């Protein structure tokens, strides 16, 4: 089989595998200093520096209502770009970069366990697992 495909950065979040288009990912970083911002939304972990720029860091666990876990060595911050915004997304781990054929991605059903449906753009079924393709604009902006 063949067909157009796109590359995705995969990451783990509370036992789920999620993917975001690699084009939108500027970098994947170790989680370093994040400074809390008073009176910001609960899922906004704070601000952090990346390439000399101050960006918000969003804890995706809190964003999707999963329990908070301590930051460990596997934790990563995905720095993503959306239009003219840059934001960091704190995830449990991120270590894969794969190509997914467009015809392997299906629209999400009514509910996707634990995830706000609007934030899930599609579901890719790979050989032995399911990848939730996230709609970054909804994740970062659709609050």
Partner 1 sequence: MDSSRVLQMICAPGFSTREEADLGAGRGVGMTVVKTTISGLGGTLAMDTRPGKGTRLTIRLPLTLAIMQALIIYIDDQPFVVPRSAIHEVLRVETDAVTMPENNEVIPYRAGVLPIVYLHRLFRMNGKSKNSFHVFVAGSDFSPVGIAVDRIAGQREIVVRSVEDSLVRVPGIAGATELGDGRPVLILDVAAIVEAVKS
- Give residues in contact with partner 1 (CB under 8 A): 32-33, 35-41, 44, 46-49, 52-56, 58, 85-87, 140
Taking the complex as a whole, the smallest distance from the CB of residue 49 to partner 1 amounts, in Å, to 6
- The answer to whether 141 and 44 have CB atoms below 8 angstroms apart is no
Bridge partner residues of 6 (DSSP): 100
Q: Tell me the C-alpha distance between 5 and 8, whole Å.
A: 10
Taking the complex as a whole, the smallest distance from the CB of residue 2 to partner 1 amounts, in Å, to 40
Taking the complex as a whole, the smallest distance from the CB of residue 57 to partner 1 amounts, in Å, to 9
- C-beta of 13 vs 58, nearer to partner 1: 58
- C-beta of 46 vs 122, nearer to partner 1: 46
- C-beta of 54 vs 69, nearer to partner 1: 54
For residue 88, the Cα-to-chain-centroid distance in whole angstroms is: 9
Tokens of 8: 């995705």
Bridge partner residues of 85 (DSSP): 82
């Amino acid at each position: 089989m063949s067909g157009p495909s796109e590359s995705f950065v995969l990451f783990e979040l509370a036992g789920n595998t999620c993917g975001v288009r690699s084009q939108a990912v500027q970098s994947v970083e170790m989680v370093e200093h994040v400074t809390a911002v008073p009176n910001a939304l609960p899922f906004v972990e704070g601000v952090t520096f990346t390439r000399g720029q101050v960006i918000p860091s969003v804890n995706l666990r809190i964003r999707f209502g999963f329990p908070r876990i301590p930051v460990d060595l596997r934790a990563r911050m995905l720095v993503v770009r959306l239009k003219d915004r840059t934001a960091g997304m704190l995830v449990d781990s991120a270590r894969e970069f794969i190509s997914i054929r467009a015809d392997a991605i299906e629209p999400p059903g009514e509910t996707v366990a634990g995830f706000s449906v609007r934030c899930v753009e599609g579901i890719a079924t790979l050989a032995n697992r399911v990848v939730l393709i996230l709609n970054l604009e909804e994740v970062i902006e659709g609050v």
